[in-house]
Amino acid sequence: MVKVGHLDITSFHLDGDFNSSADEPEAGVVHITPGYSRDHRPDLNQVLLNLLVEHCAGIPLLMKPLAGNGSDTVELAALIANHIQQLRTDYALEYWVADSALYSEDNLRLISGHHLQWITRVPARLTLAKEMLQGLDKGTLLAPGYLCRTAVVDYAGVQQRWLLLTSIHALRRAAKTVTRKIGKDSERETAAFNALCQQRFACAADAQQALEAYCQGLKVIQIEDAAVQPLYGHRRRGRPALGAQPALVGYRLSGAPAIPSDYRLQQLWQHSSFILATNELESDRLSDLQVLQTYKAQQRAERGFRFLKDPQFQTSQFYLKSPQRIMALLMVMTLCLLVYAALEYRLRTALAKQQQTFPNQCGKPVANPTARWIFQCFTGIHVLLIDGQAAMILNLTVHHQLVIDLLGQPYQQLYS
Q: Residues 6 or more apart from 233 whose CB is under 8 A from it?
A: 246, 247, 249
Q: What's the CA gap between 112 and 327, in Å, rounded?
A: 31
Element (H, E) at 4: strand 4-14
User: Running along the chain, 416 residues long, what does each successive block of 10 average in pLDDT?
Assistant: 83 74 68 85 88 91 90 88 82 88 90 87 91 78 91 92 92 88 92 92 90 90 90 68 70 90 84 92 92 92 88 68 88 92 93 92 91 89 87 88 90 85
Quick one: pLDDT at residue 261? 78
Quick one: pLDDT at residue 94? 85
131: how many CB neighbours lie within 10 A of its CB? 9
For residue range 398-412, list pLDDT tens digits in order.
999 999 999 988 888
253: how many CB neighbours lie within 10 A of its CB? 20
Q: What's the CA gap between 298 and 35, in Å, rounded?
A: 24
Q: What's the CA gap between 145 and 173, in Å, rounded?
A: 13
Length of the chain: 416
Quick one: pLDDT at residue 97? 94
Q: What's the CA gap between 274 and 170, in Å, rounded?
A: 11
Residue 163, beta-bridge partner list? 150, 276
221: how many CB neighbours lie within 10 A of its CB? 22
Handedness of CA 311, 6, 373, 332 (dihedral sign): negative
Among 10, 12, 14, 11, residue whose Cα is nearest residue 322: 14
Where do the domains of the chain lie, and which CATH numbers do they carry? 4-120+281-344 (3.30.420.10), 351-414 (no CATH)
Helices (H), 154-298: 168-197, 204-216, 263-271, 288-296
Quick one: pLDDT at residue 1? 47
End-to-end CA distance of the chain: 34
Q: What's the CA gap between 35 and 43, in Å, rounded?
A: 9
For residue range 265-295, list pLDDT tens digits in order.
888 888 889 999 999 999 899 999 999 999 9
- Its pTM surpasses 0.85: no
Which of 142-177 are b and which e, b meaning 16 or more Cβ less than 10 Å from the residue's Cβ?
Answer: beeebbbbeeeeebeeeebbbbbbbbeebbeebeee
